Each structure stands twice: as structure tokens, then as C-alpha cells.
A and B are shown apart, each in its own frame.
Chain A
Amino acid sequence: MRTHDAPHAAAQPHVLDVADVVAGYGKNTVLRGVGLTVGESELVALLGHNGAGKTTLLRSIVGQVKPTAGRVLLDGADFTGRPPSATAVAGMSLVPQGHGVFPSLTIEENLTLAAATGGKRGASAATLADSKAFAFDLFGILKQRPKDRAGSLSGGQRQMLAISMALMTQPRLMLLDEPSTGLAPVLVDEVLAAVRKVNRELGTSVLVVEQDIKRVLGVADRAYVLKLGGLVFTGTPAQLEKRDWSELF
């Protein structure tokens, strides 16, 4: 997968390495030099107030927004400004907020389509079957009605399907934008627990944006807080608990 050799062959590059990214929409600069890393099998939370630029950062990482400055590296290889179709095949899997599934496709078809990406990444049919079994194990509800259109599913079920689709792509890095939006508290726990399980059992690195700070800190290894397009906190959940939240959010 690597197109450039890492500068220090001995040092293991981070799975995701974002450095000094500046990005926005037209003249409106949203991110003013943001850097973060996600390590091997790490689950990192990205927090911040509404409009802080969290979604813009995820979109800059996968290439939906082109950074005007800075670097985005996946496993040490430069993907800055590459199109989302390329970063997806390279192993980044974004689960966008609210629109993660194709409503007119059935559950089965959504998964098949995502599996094609896994296939492009070199996964064998057996691996893809394993991933599907893993997803069905996480979210039993999806297994019951494979022929149902995704458009007919509830918000929680759609989110589960969207995460399963991300799984089928065999990602190196999963990027989730507010997976708990609009879900009942019990479902939030279920979804976050599933993300944690993917991270622990498959070793997939995860960067998750969440509004439900308390809940996501329960599963995250590390957290960043973004405010007005700049980072104002980096550290462990325990360190974040001790901070004065009124100045961060």
C-alpha cells in the first residue's frame, strides 16, 4: 500500500498522521492548522462544540474536502487531497453522519457493495464471509431481514448497517461521524460497544466524532478536543475528566 517510504524505517508510522491541516469551504477557512494521530489499534475520540470543524476534519482526511495546507498520511503514505474513492481503497472507511446507507438498496446489497471495496483491497471471499459473520454477530437484527430495503430501517438499524458496511471494506482506519445521532441511550451504548469490539477484536484503528462525550470517553483510548478550527486538548479520557470543560467546549 505504501507509496513513499517512511523517513525513519525503524520508527513505526502511525496508522493516521494528520499534520497542520488547513481546510474550509471557499473563502471560509474552518480548520486552522490541525494535527492528530491515530496509532495501531487505537480508538481515538474527536470532540468539540457544534461547528468546531469535526466533520470538516474527517472530510479532509478522506479527501471530500481538499486541504489547502498540511499533510494526511495513512501508514506513512501521503494521501493529502487524494479523492475519497482512492482513500477508501487505501483503507480509510468513513461512516458519514446520518447518510451511511443506500436507502434503495437492500441490507444484503448494501453489504455486497461494500464488500466489493474489500475485494479491491485484496480480501478473499473467505475473509469477506468472515467479516459478514462478524457484523451479523455484532448486530443480529441485520441478519433477520436481508431483503429489506435500507430505507425502511430505523435510525439505529441504519447506523448498524453503515458500520457493518465499513467493516466489509476491510478498513485500516474507521472514521465515524457522530454514530449515536438520534439514537435512544440504550442504542448509543450498543453502537459504541460494537465499535469498541471491532477495534479490540479486529485491531481496526478508529477515529470517532461524538456529541455524547461521557459515553464515548468510556470506550476511547485517547481524545482530542477541537474548538473553532484548532485543537485545544489532547490526552487520555482520565486527563480530560480533570479539565475545566467550560473552556474546552
Chain B
Amino acid sequence: MDLLLQLAKNGAIIGLLYGLFAYGMSLIVSTTGVLHFAHGFTLVGSAYTFWWLFQGQDVHPVLAAALTLVVAGAIGVLIELGIYRPLRRRKAGEMTFLVASLAVLTLGQNFLVLLFGTDPKPTPPSEFMSWSVSFGPLLIRTFDVLVIAASLVAFVGLYLLQTKTAVGLSFRAVGDNPQRAETLGIRLQHTYVWVFLAGSVVAGLPAILLSVQNPVTPSMGFDLLVKAVIALVIGGIGSMPGALLGGVLIGLVESLAVYKLPTHWAEFTLFAVLFLFVVVRPNGLTRSRLRSA
């Protein structure tokens, strides 16, 4: 029973990171209408950045984390400016965006292999990270506290951004109706850059936290992308509670599957749950805000 509880806690914590990653992507998708699969590259690129700074260059972890967030934002903005904006100007179809986005993810991932090889890159154990405290049967580690704090800051921050600031309101307005937004003086190109910045910086948080917990690998961007897509199918695109719920649900399923099944069944269980969802609730838990063309 204690093991089950511990697994559930670990699953929920990892799930928060999935939810964060998924919500950043969801924000970009619902505002721009682009299926931004390259968000996976933003994650893996940021994870390697953090590992390289912290482990390779001996940069203080706090500074390394701050720089990683900057890099994460820069990756997203560069993808928007370098790839999507030219495609938009040429009035490319949805499929072209999708292919371009997947190409960025694949090429980027291969580029990281060229630079760093395929072997997993662990960050060294530290005294700070190995602290823990027991609450009855529950063991709370530094990692758990960091994840909860980061998620809280990010979700509250994104909520306030989107309800209290003109730029954040413009994300939602552009997602609803870009033509109408323009007639209110909103410049779509600016809004897109801002939303890529916001969504990508948020992807930096799971990138950093996953790097300190597990070794960094070139495929982690793709793995997280698959989980984010599942989380968004379950939770609905554009919905903050949806992404959070979807992410935590995936984390729980993954973690709890291990309780009874061999570890390599985790993925099978995940897709079984996804399949069930698609059949039972094809529109997700919450109302989707993805623009219907």
C-alpha cells in the first residue's frame, strides 16, 4: 500500500511536468493554429543546454537554469521567425506546417546526437537534491518540492498573463478569431512571437527538472511530445486545467502500471488509456478551444 502511494505521488509529480510541457504547447497551438510538434525540440534542446552548462561548464545550477529558460524561449521564437513566419507568408497549408515542425524536431534531435552522442547524460547527484522528508508513508524529495513550486509559479503566471495583461488577452483573442483581433489593432506577427516566447520558456522548466532527475537523452523531446499530445487529447487544447489533468493522469498511469506490470508495459497502458479516451470522450475532458479552420 505504501509503495502504491509512493508510486502515485511520483507519477503525479512527473505528471505535473508533462502538464507544464503540454500546456506550453497547447498555448502555442490554440493561439497560432500551428501543430507545433517542434515543441519537443525546444524541450530536448533546453535539457542539453542545462546539462552542458551545469555539468560541462560548471555553471552554478541556478544560473544554468536561468540561462536555460532564456535559451528555451529563444528556440521557440527562432522556430516561429525562421520557419513558421515564412510559411505563413507563403500561405502554406496545415500539412506543410506539420511536416516542417516534425522536420525541426527530427533534425534538431539528430544535431544533438552529432554534438553529444547518443549516450545518456546524467547530472551528478548533489546534497541539495538528495534531501528528503517523510510525511507518514510519503517521502517528499527536493525534486518534488521544486516541481510543485515551478508548476505553481508557471501556471499561476500564465493564468494571470492571459486574464490580466493585454498581450495575454491577445493570445486568447487571436486564438478565437485572428481577423477580428487585427481590427482591434492587434498585430498577429507580434502576438505569435510573444506566445512562442511564453510557451517555450515554460517548456524550459520541465527540461531543467527532468535533467536533474533523469539522464538527458536525444529522444526525450519526442517522448515528451507524445505524452503532451496524449495529454491534450484527453484534456482539450487551450484548456489549462485540461492540460494539467491530462499530464497528471499520464504520469499516474505510467507510474502505477509499473506496480503490477513489467516496466515496458507502461507505454502500452498509456496508449490503452488514450484509446479508451478517444472512444469514450472524443472531445476530451474539457471543451477544446482549437480553432476549427
Would you list which residues of chain A between 160 and 207 have a CB under 8 Å from chain B? 165, 169
Would you list which residues of chain B between 133 and 167 have a CB under 8 Å from chain A? 163, 166
Closest Cβ of chain A to B168, distance in Å, is 10
Size range of the chain B interface in the assembly: 20 to 34
Q: Which residues of B are found within 8 Å of A62, using beta-carbon distances? A: 183
Q: Which residues of B are found within 8 Å of A120, using beta-carbon distances? A: 185
Closest Cβ of chain A to B179, distance in Å, is 7
Inter-chain CA distance A112–B166, complex, in Å, is 8
Residues A102 and B166 in contact, CB atoms below 8 Å apart:
no
Residues B173 and A102 in contact, CB atoms below 8 Å apart:
yes
Q: Which residues of A are found within 8 Å of B166, using beta-carbon distances? A: 112-113, 116, 119
Inter-chain CA distance A62–B182, complex, in Å, is 10
* A93 touches B (CB below 8 Å): yes
* A89 touches B (CB below 8 Å): yes
Given the known interface contacts A113-B169, A113-B170, A116-B166, the answer about A103 and B176 at a Cβ–Cβ threshold of 8 Å is yes
Chain A 129-167 interface 0/1 with B at a Cβ cutoff of 8 Å (1 = within)? 000000000000000000000000000000000000100
Q: Which residues of B are found within 8 Å of A169, using beta-carbon distances? A: 184-185
Q: Which residues of B are found within 8 Å of A219, using beta-carbon distances? A: none
- Of chain A, the residue at the smallest CB distance from B173 is A102
Inter-chain CA distance A232–B184, complex, in Å, is 32
Chain A 114-132 interface 0/1 with B at a Cβ cutoff of 8 Å (1 = within)? 1011011000000000000
Residues A84 and B170 in contact, CB atoms below 8 Å apart:
no
Q: Which residues of B are found within 8 Å of A104, using beta-carbon distances? A: 172, 175-176, 238, 289
Given the known interface contacts A113-B166, A116-B166, the answer about A105 and B176 at a Cβ–Cβ threshold of 8 Å is yes
Inter-chain CA distance A109–B169, complex, in Å, is 7
Q: Which residues of A are found within 8 Å of B182, using beta-carbon distances? A: 64, 83-85, 88
* A94 touches B (CB below 8 Å): yes
* A100 touches B (CB below 8 Å): yes
Chain A 63-105 interface 0/1 with B at a Cβ cutoff of 8 Å (1 = within)? 0100000000000000000011100110001101001101111
Residues B187 and A85 in contact, CB atoms below 8 Å apart:
yes
**Centre residue among A102, A114, A116, A120 by max chain B CB count within 10 A:** A102
* B177 touches A (CB below 8 Å): yes
Residues B185 and A117 in contact, CB atoms below 8 Å apart:
yes
**Centre residue among A83, A84, A89, A96 by max chain B CB count within 10 A:** A84
Residues B183 and A96 in contact, CB atoms below 8 Å apart:
yes
Inter-chain CA distance A119–B169, complex, in Å, is 15
Closest Cβ of chain B to A157, distance in Å, is 17
Inter-chain CA distance A165–B184, complex, in Å, is 9
Inter-chain CA distance A169–B183, complex, in Å, is 10
Inter-chain CA distance A96–B178, complex, in Å, is 12
Q: Which residues of A are found within 8 Å of B170, using beta-carbon distances? A: 113, 116
Given the known interface contacts A85-B186, A120-B185, the answer about A109 and B163 at a Cβ–Cβ threshold of 8 Å is yes
- Of chain A, the residue at the smallest CB distance from B184 is A117
Residues A102 and B185 in contact, CB atoms below 8 Å apart:
no
**Centre residue among A88, A93, A113 by max chain B CB count within 10 A:** A113
Inter-chain CA distance A64–B181, complex, in Å, is 12
Residues A105 and B183 in contact, CB atoms below 8 Å apart:
no
Residues B184 and A114 in contact, CB atoms below 8 Å apart:
yes
Residues B180 and A88 in contact, CB atoms below 8 Å apart:
no
Q: Which residues of A are found within 8 Å of B163, using beta-carbon distances? A: 109
Closest Cβ of chain B to A196, distance in Å, is 22
Instruction: Please list the residues of chain A having a beta carbon within 8 angstroms of any beta carbon in chain B.
Output: 62, 64, 83-85, 88-89, 93-94, 96, 99-100, 102-105, 109, 112-114, 116-117, 119-120, 165, 169
Could you give 7 example pairs across A and B, Cβ below 8 Å? Answer: A94-B183, A102-B173, A109-B169, A113-B166, A116-B170, A117-B184, A117-B185
Q: Which 10 pairs, one residue from A and one from B, show the smallest C-beta to C-beta distance?
A: A88-B185, A116-B166, A117-B185, A84-B182, A102-B176, A89-B185, A94-B183, A102-B173, A85-B187, A113-B169
Other A-B pairs, 20, CB within 8 Å; known A62-B183, A104-B172, A114-B184: A64-B183, A84-B179, A84-B182, A85-B182, A85-B186, A85-B187, A89-B185, A93-B183, A102-B173, A102-B176, A104-B238, A104-B289, A109-B172, A112-B169, A113-B166, A113-B186, A117-B184, A165-B184, A169-B184, A169-B185
